[in-house]
């Protein structure tokens, strides 16, 4: 049950902790095609953007997650600063208290420069900070709890758990067809993982905001730990220039989970609503 509740928060943050670690031989190919697929004409986000998700485990309200974007600085350079927070509530909080904080400082080219992961998950705590050095292709990992500082090699166009969300929103999907995939390099727990996302098609969802046009994707996940199979997870994003997550569903080994967008503000573009 504790693993399920831990996943409750990680769920709307694109389930990157449980994304499948593909064969690392694919990473060099990812680098070659990375920059050509980003739509840099108009950013799909801006400072002041805010999302809030409500998370259900079966019929129970299990928790909430928020994601905010603001202007900031790091090492004297202007940055976008994304702050993700998640917490359990009600019975879920009584069983396992979760208070997690994830932050990313990245530039307008989607390059992460600083990442913060400060979590408390039922007594399991972590306080880690990453400083990316893209010029020298290395990342400094500062473990504040263990009082350790280590450098690790990175590839070009690497992402942290939060900056990858904004990169994916900036990805040009207008020519994608069902079955096409996006693969992105992710640095997590001192290793590089390719994160894969497959397009399934388009859909119209009934939401609290009205009928919304969406594009449906399937992140490949590791089966057998929490998920029933590799294709247990489905994500719907708005079919417009914002590309915001509207709904996420997962089939778990025990029960199912759903995260729904319940509030937003500060969007860069109008939402794609169906009349």
pLDDT in tens, 90-136: 887 887 788 899 999 999 889 999 999 999 888 889 999 999 999 99
What pLDDT is recorded for position 20? 33
What pLDDT is recorded for position 12? 46
Task: Confirm whether 224 is domain-assigned.
Answer: yes
Could you tell me the pLDDT band of residue 231, with boundaries at 50, 70 and 90? Answer: low
Residue 252 has pLDDT above 90, yes or no: no
Those residues whose C-beta lies under 8 Å from the C-beta of residue 221, and which sit 6 or more positions away, are 15, 18, 19, 20, 227, 230, 232, 233
Residue 213 has pLDDT above 80, yes or no: yes
Mean pLDDT of 152-180: 91
Residue 42 has pLDDT above 60, yes or no: yes
* Helix locations, 41-178, DSSP H: 90-95, 163-169
Task: Confirm whether 197 is domain-assigned.
Answer: yes
What pLDDT is recorded for position 88? 86
Those residues whose C-beta lies under 8 Å from the C-beta of residue 217, and which sit 6 or more positions away, are 197, 198, 199, 200, 234, 235, 236, 237
Task: Confirm whether 271 is domain-assigned.
Answer: no
List b or e across 224-261, with b for residues whose CB sees 16 or more CB atoms inside 10 angstroms.
eebbeeeebbbbbbbbbbbbbbbbbbbebeeeebbbbb
Poorest-pLDDT segment among 32-36, 190-194, 259-263: 32-36
Average pLDDT, the chain: 81
Residue 37 has pLDDT above 50, yes or no: no
Whole domain around residue 98: which residue ranges?
2-265
Is 175 or 21 the better-scoring residue by pLDDT?
Answer: 175
Could you tell me the pLDDT band of residue 23, with boundaries at 50, 70 and 90? Answer: very low
Which two structure tokens, joined as six digits, stand for 16? 């990157």
Task: Confirm whether 6 is domain-assigned.
Answer: yes
Q: Indicate the pTM of the whole model.
A: 0.84
What pLDDT is recorded for position 221? 53
What pLDDT is recorded for position 140? 98
Task: Confirm whether 272 is domain-assigned.
Answer: no
Contact by Cβ (8 Å): 39, 172: yes
Domain count, the chain: 1
List pLDDT tens digits, range 49-62: 999 999 888 778 88
Task: Confirm whether 170 is domain-assigned.
Answer: yes
Task: Confirm whether 273 is domain-assigned.
Answer: no
Task: Confirm whether 112 is domain-assigned.
Answer: yes
Residue 11 has pLDDT above 80, yes or no: no
What pLDDT is recorded for position 147? 96
| Residue 144 main-chain phi, psi, to 5 deg | -70, -30
Which two structure tokens, joined as six digits, stand for 14? 């694109």
Is 85 or 60 the better-scoring residue by pLDDT?
Answer: 85
């Amino acid at each position: 049950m504790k693993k399920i509740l831990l996943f409750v928060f990680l769920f709307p943050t694109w389930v990157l902790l449980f994304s499948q670690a593909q064969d690392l031989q694919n990473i060099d190919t990812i680098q070659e095609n990375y920059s050509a697929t980003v739509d840099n004409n108009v950013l799909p986000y801006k400072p002041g953007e805010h999302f809030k998700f409500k998370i259900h485990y079966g019929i129970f309200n299990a928790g909430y997650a928020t994601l905010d974007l603001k202007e900031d600085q790091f090492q004297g350079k202007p940055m976008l600063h994304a702050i993700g927070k998640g917490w359990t509530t009600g019975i879920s909080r009584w069983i396992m208290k979760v208070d997690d904080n994830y932050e990313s400082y990245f530039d307008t080219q989607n390059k992460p420069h600083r990442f913060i992961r400060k979590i408390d998950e039922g007594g399991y705590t972590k306080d880690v900070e990453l400083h990316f050095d893209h010029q020298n292709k290395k990342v400094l990992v500062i473990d504040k709890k263990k009082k350790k500082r280590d450098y690790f090699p990175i590839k070009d166009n690497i992402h942290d758990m939060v900056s990858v969300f904004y990169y994916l929103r900036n990805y040009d999907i207008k020519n994608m067809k069902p079955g096409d995939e996006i693969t992105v390099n992710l640095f997590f727990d001192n290793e590089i993982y390719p994160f894969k996302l497959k397009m399934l098609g388009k859909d119209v969802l009934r939401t609290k905001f009205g009928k919304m046009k969406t594009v449906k994707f399937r992140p490949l996940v590791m089966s057998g730990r929490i998920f029933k199979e590799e294709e247990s997870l489905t994500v719907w994003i708005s079919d417009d220039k914002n590309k915001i997550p509207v709904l996420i569903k997962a089939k778990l080994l025990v029960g199912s989970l759903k995260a729904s967008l319940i509030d937003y503000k500060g969007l860069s573009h109008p939402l794609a609503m169906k009349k």
